[in-house]
Amino acid sequence: MEKRAAYESVLPYVREWIGYKVWQLRLPGVQVAVGFEGEELFAGAWGYADVEAGRRLTTTDRFRIASHSKTFTATALLQLADAGALRLDDTVGSFVPALVDAGSPIAGATVRELMEMGGGVVRDGADGDHWALAHPFPDAEQLVALVVEGGAKVPVGSAFNYSNLGYGLLGLVVEAVTGTSYAEHVRAAITEPLGLAHTGPEFDPAHEDAFVVGYTGLHTARTRTRVPHVTTGALAAATGFHGTASDLVRYFSAHVPGRGDLLSDHAKRLAQRKAWSALDTDPAARGYGAGFIVDRINGREVRGHSGGFPGQITQSVFDPASSLVVSVLTSSATGPAGMLANGIVHLLDAAADEHAAGPALPDDVDTSRYVGRFTTFEGITDFARVGDRLLAIDPTQPVPTESPVRLDVVDADTLRMAAGNRFGSIDELVTFTRDESGAVVSVRGDSGMTHRPWSVPEETPEVAAALV
């Protein structure tokens, strides 16, 4: 099966799986988009943008995408370098002279070293409680003071140390080079040329209704509470951006080598190659490039970024080789954006797997007769089309394709469990019972047990509000 067709075959199940995870994990809201070869293949939204107000989440509601901001800052700097407006080996002190005047060793860090998180800058400063909304995010003067007063924790260039303050300094570099504000420049250089209508460098209180409400997590309480929006001051270059999953798919598609003119391919390669590993003991571990996280999912190389803002967790990944892009935005602290993005990539890979066990489904099989969600007293099973296979999947798992059972078609009402974990009922039959209209009444399957059709209950605003 051609790759795009394979991806499209499983997208209906992606919608079902995400919908189940939102219900299972009691998530206030989730937004997802998938792109391939520069086109959006899928966009969806589940839950609420504002639970208390009963405002349903849409694909155009804006999330705080936090550290995705670093990719925009790195892109702006690479554009300026391509244009000859700066050199990546220029020192940050040449653009932020207050660091030189104060004798800070960070003044000698290069733009490239700060982009790659090798500048030796402390992560958030001695008082990072702006992340807990205990006080405002620092302005430019306060940012420089934080860096001067204990901001250097290791020698410049000696180690990987993720730093929001370092990217705040890079925002000041952008302003010094362009003579405009950081926000004005990234709008003119990145978001407007790409047509990112719902993406910007900072929260705008005048358009608060366009933003998703964030909520606390369930790690210390049985219910969630809403988190107010705040602006990010001089840390906008590190964490200020907002956006939608669809906009992020368009944005990261422009970072695929050979596609678009946002950056030269040379600059893209520079940004996306791994400069550091996050684990000193494992050079092959997840790492960092110049503004981009470097990682692997299911054996494929991916790039992108995560984002953690008070009450909102987000994740976007793209494959520079194939152009696949997945973006997942969640509106709760500890939201499982990374897990959901990982699961989606696994589903897409399973659909496009040319070496999957067993023969492909015959062309004349109507798989809609079998797909659905079925439950017993013990658990839940999804029957789903994944590429040219029919699979039984456990949707409760973080990776839904971790231990699937392949189902072969015997006849219009019978499947055979043809391959999978043999602690189950492999080589046995699955039989469907239908009513006069042809709707499935029950399925007798694994362990010979009767499974009943089940779907996620419709959640009213009143029910959702009871969870916060």
Locate the domains of the chain by residue range: 1-25+346-468, 29-335
CA distance 231 to 212: 15
Domain 29-335 in this protein, CATH class: alpha beta
DSSP assignment of 109-168, as one string?
-BHHHHHTT-S-B-SS-S--GGGGTSSPPP-HHHHHHHHHTT-B-S-TTSS----HHHHH
| CB of 62 closer than 8 Å to CB of 191 | no
Give pLDDT, residue 461.
66
Give pLDDT, residue 364.
87
CA distance 253 to 259: 7
CB atoms within 10 A of CB 67: 20
Give pLDDT, residue 356.
85
pLDDT less than 70: residues of the chain? 461-468
List pLDDT tens digits, range 370-412: 999 999 988 999 999 999 999 999 999 999 999 999 999 999 9
Greatest pairwise CA separation for the chain in angstroms:
84
CA distance 240 to 238: 6
CA distance 62 to 246: 10
